Amino acid sequence: MAGGNNFITIVFDSCRFDSFVAARPKTILKLGELEQRYSYASWTAPSHYNLLMGLMPHASPKNVYASEYYKKDFVRYAERFGLDNFEFRELVPQLFLPLFLRQSLGYETHAMVSLPVLNPKTVINQGFDTFRLMPKHNDMRAMIREMTFSEERPSYYLLNVGETHYPYALPDEPTDMWPRIHGIHGVFKHLDQHVVGGKLVETAESAAIFNSDKMEELRKRQIRAVEYLDGVVEELFDIVPENTWITILADHGEAFGEDGYFGHGPVHHDKVFEVPFIEGRIR
C-alpha cells in the first residue's frame, strides 16, 4: 500500500522541556500544541529503540490503564500517516516502525543520525533504505540538504539532531570554544585508559563537584541551540511537500546540577525524563 503523508520524526537529542520553552521557538510552535511529555528511557540508544517501536514519549495520565493509553497513542498514527485503512497487527511481531512502513505501507525509509551510539552497525539500523551517521554531530542543516521526496511513494525520515546534546555547540563554533566536562565525550572509546587491574581509577577531576555557574552556562547553551534550530526547522518547512507530518521531540532531557545531578543516562531525575513534544501537518 503506497500513499499517505510523508512522515518526519525529529529528535532534539538531550533537550529538556524547560530549555525548549525558554528558547521560545516561533517556527516550531506553528506545528501545533506544545506538550510536556516523558521519555521512556534516560539515554539515547534505548529511547530511540522505543521511538522506532512506535512509542512516542508518553503523557503519564492518571487513572488510566497502561494498555488503554498504548491503544490511544498508536491510533494517532492513522493521522500521522494520513491513512485509516491499515491494521496495526502488521506491526507485529517485529514491532519496528521502519519495517512496518517499508513493508506494509510502501514507504521509503531513511535515517540520519548525529550521535555515534546510533551508528549503522547497531541493531537500530533495521528497516531503513538508507541509514547514515553524519560527519558532524551538530549540523541539522546538512541533513536537510540531503533530504529528497519521491513523487511515487511517501517518505519516512528519522533525524537525530545533536546541537542540543553536550557540548551544545552550533556548527560554526570553533571546537576550542566548547565547554569541557570530564568523561562526557568518548565514554566507551576511552574507558580502557581509566581502568587499571580491572578497577576504575578515579581522578581529581572526575571527583570534583560541579560549579553552579558552569551548569548555568551549559543550560544557556542548550537554550541557544534550540533558538538556532528553530531557524533550521523553518528551512525544512520550506522544502517538504504538502501533506508532510512532522513530529519534533526529545529522546530524553538533561540535568544541569539540580539536586546534585548532571547529565543523563544513569541519572533518575525528573529533568532527565521531561521532554518537549509537538507535531502537525505541513499542508
CATH number for the domain harbouring residue 27: 3.40.720
CB atoms within 10 A of CB 83: 15
Residue range of the domain that includes 27 = 6-282
Within-domain flag for 276: yes
Within-domain flag for 217: yes
Judged by phi (left if over 0) then psi (alpha if -120 to 50, else beta), residue 183 lies in left
pLDDT digits (tens, 9 = 90+) for 31-59: 999 999 999 999 999 999 999 999 999 99
Domains contained in the chain, number: 1
**Distance, C-alpha 272 to centroid of its chain:** 13
Report the pLDDT value the prediction gives residue 1, as an integer from 0 to 100.
Answer: 47
pLDDT digits (tens, 9 = 90+) for 215-254: 999 999 999 999 999 999 999 999 999 999 999 999 999 9
CB-based contacts of 21: which residues, under 8 Å, 6+ apart? 34, 276
Within-domain flag for 114: yes
pLDDT digits (tens, 9 = 90+) for 99-140: 999 999 999 999 999 999 999 999 999 999 999 999 999 999
Task: Give the DSSP letter of residue 201.
Answer: P
Q: To which residue does cell 580491572 refer?
A: 198
Q: How many residues does the chain have?
A: 283
Report the pLDDT value the prediction gives residue 30, as an integer from 0 to 100.
Answer: 96
Within-domain flag for 267: yes
Statement: residue 68 has pLDDT above 50: yes
Within-domain flag for 56: yes
Statement: residue 84 has pLDDT above 90: no
Q: Which residue from 184, 157, 144, 146 is spatially nearest to 168, judged by alpha carbons?
A: 184
Within-domain flag for 201: yes
Within-domain flag for 1: no
Report the pLDDT value the prediction gives residue 38, as an integer from 0 to 100.
Answer: 98
CB 27 within 8 A of CB 177: no
- The C-alpha angle 156, 164, 41, rounded to 5 degrees, equals 70
Which residues are paired to 156 by β-bridges? 7, 109
Within-domain flag for 158: yes
pLDDT digits (tens, 9 = 90+) for 143-169: 999 999 999 999 999 999 999 999 999
Q: How far is Cα 38 from Cα 57, in angstroms, rounded to an integer? A: 5
pLDDT confidence tier of residue 92, bands split at 50, 70 and 90: confident
The answer to whether the bond into 93 is cis (omega within 30° of 0) is yes
CB 279 within 8 A of CB 246: yes
Report the pLDDT value the prediction gives residue 207, as an integer from 0 to 100.
Answer: 41
Percent of the chain residues topping a pLDDT of 90: 75
Element (H, E) at 272: helix 270-273
Q: How far is Cα 157 from Cα 162, in angstroms, rounded to an integer? A: 16
